[in-house]
A and B are shown apart, each in its own frame.
Chain A
Amino acid sequence: MSQLRRLPKFEFVGPRSLAEVCALTAEAAAGEVLLLAGGTDAILQMRRRERTPRRVVGLKGVRDLAFVRETGEGGLAIGAMTTLAELLAAPLVRSRYALLCETAAQIGGIELRNVATVGGNVAGALPCADLPPALMALEARVKLSSRRGERWVPLDEFFPEFGRTAARDGELVSEIGLPRPAPGSGGAYLKFHDRHSMDMTVVGVSACVTRDAERGVVRDLRLAFASAAPTVFRARRAEALLRGAALTEQALEEVAEAACREADPRTSWRANREYRQALVRSLTKRAIGQAWAKAAANEGAPS
């Protein structure tokens, strides 16, 4: 019963501010320090001895990383230590970013959402993480902070390969930034999993559609996928097929086919490659259809 094993030994530090965290990560060699956000992935990784850090930096007391607020440009700023429950409760998220609520609500149960953080879901770089596809479809950027300063990386360039992020040399994720959604846009996240809840995503598809109401065509489309390749990714070639086009059966088939070609799913005990391909095909069509319907419902709404 390896899951009942004790955690490997480590030294613990609990900084109170982002500046203190940066000072701690700056001095550390790779693998020596583990940032513990909610810990819902990291504690299990340590229990399995996949990670045996000398020092754990607990972030739960870093309150300047827990916030949800509107930016000067009318977008959204989410602090890395915002829990999924806090995200779901934020009025601005509920009113303007329904896609984020729809997605976060599908992650784990309440016990998990009370501690799991937005930053941990993104920085963990898991291909099956549910928030990154939704955030990518919303054109999120990631703010990386270190003692040297800060820089922004578009989320769709944040996962260079399986399990890795663009963060380097003591950088941590401090904030996720989102632009204000275009008027007449809508989004959907479809997560396929075996059980109704508490299960990892077999394939997840997020679609954001902006309608051109006058011409009755798709003005913009963004598609991003979980568990369909070694990293969460945006299917840019598939998206391009539908821009400026009417949403016909034929067009949807072509987009779904293109998304399949961009996907590179693996075979695991959860599902084999062919099964995941079939899911990508059907969920892509369904997600676009739902996003289109929501975009139509949002038309004229003040967002």
Chain B
Amino acid sequence: MRSLVEVTLRVNGIDHEVAIAPWRTLLEVLRETLALTGTKRSCGEGQCGTCTVLVDGKAVNACLYLAIEAQGRDVRTIEGPPQGDPALAEIQRAFAANGAVQCGFCTPGMVMVTRALLAGNPAPNEDEIREALVGHLCRCTGYVQIVEAIQDAAGRLARQEAH
């Protein structure tokens, strides 16, 4: 079987030419080939949300997505683009300010789903926030501070917009 395939993966706005085996998941390629280890690997079956990245602006589990199928799409990870992503940075500040991070393992996934949520719904109510977090597990803080961080992030981004 001819195993390696040359593909171009656009991650955080940068095109990477990589030779990958077709059976590698996006999560494996991000972490092991591109050394983008901010995206975490945990359950490997779509239950925990730690591997959440954005593909064409939509939150997906990178453990359930073949890297080869991300070709021609826009992949965004917690590392963000080199020039920075002000919204992503603001969400991260809100998480830190609200004590929403303890061990930090679930945080990249939580931040990425928040990025997608706020892009489509700049002022979500608590139910909408909790609904967005359904596929995310946190075993340290509980979810109260995380919900508060997301509310705070929404407020911060709205103020940014107003400027």
A197, B60: Cβ atoms closer than 8 Å: no
Please judge, given known A-B contacts A60-B69, A111-B52, whether A8 and B59 are in contact too, CB under 8 Å.
no
Given A7-B25, A11-B22: A198 touches B135 (CB 8 Å cut-off):
yes
Q: Answer whether residue A110 sits at the interface, using C-beta atoms and an 8 A cutoff.
A: yes
Q: How many residues of B contact A (CB 8 A)?
A: 40
How many residues on chain A are close to B (CB under 8 Å)? Answer: 33
Select B44's contact among A47, A110, A111, beta carbons within 8 Å: A47
Is B49 in contact with A109, judged by CB distance below 8 angstroms? yes
A131-177, CB < 8 A from B: none
How far does the Cβ of A28 sit from chain B's closest Cβ, in whole Å? Answer: 16
Whether A8 contacts B23 in the complex (CB less than 8 A), given A36-B66, A60-B69, comes out as yes
Cβ contact within 8 Å between A9 and B3: yes
Kindly provide the distance from the CB of A58 to the nearest chain B CB, expressed in whole angstroms.
5
Most B CB contacts (10 A, CB to CB) among A6, A11, A44, A110 go to A110
The CA of A11 and the CA of B3, in the complex, are separated in Å by 7
Report whether B22 and A56 are in contact in the complex, using a CB–CB cutoff of 8 Å: yes
User: What CA separation (Å) do A198 and B71 show in the bound complex?
Assistant: 28
Closest to A10 in B: B23
Contacts of A44 in B (CB 8 A): 45-46, 64
Q: Is A39 an interface residue (CB 8 A)?
A: yes
- Bound complex: CA A41 to CA B45 (Å): 9
- Proximity bits, B61-87, A CB within 8 Å = 1, else 0: 101111011011000000000000000
- With most chain B CB atoms within 10 A of its CB, the pick from A8, A44, A56, A112 is A112
Cα-based distance from A3 to B45 in the complex (angstroms):
7
Q: B119-150: contact bitstring with A at CB < 8 Å (1 yes, 0 no)? A: 00000000000011111100000000000000
16 A-B contacts (beta carbon < 8 Å)? A4-B41, A4-B44, A6-B24, A7-B25, A12-B5, A12-B68, A14-B69, A39-B64, A40-B46, A58-B68, A85-B58, A110-B135, A114-B55, A115-B60, A115-B64, A198-B47
Binding site for A on B (CB under 8 A): 1-3, 5, 21-25, 28, 41, 43-47, 49, 52, 55, 58-61, 63-66, 68-69, 71-72, 113, 116-117, 131-136
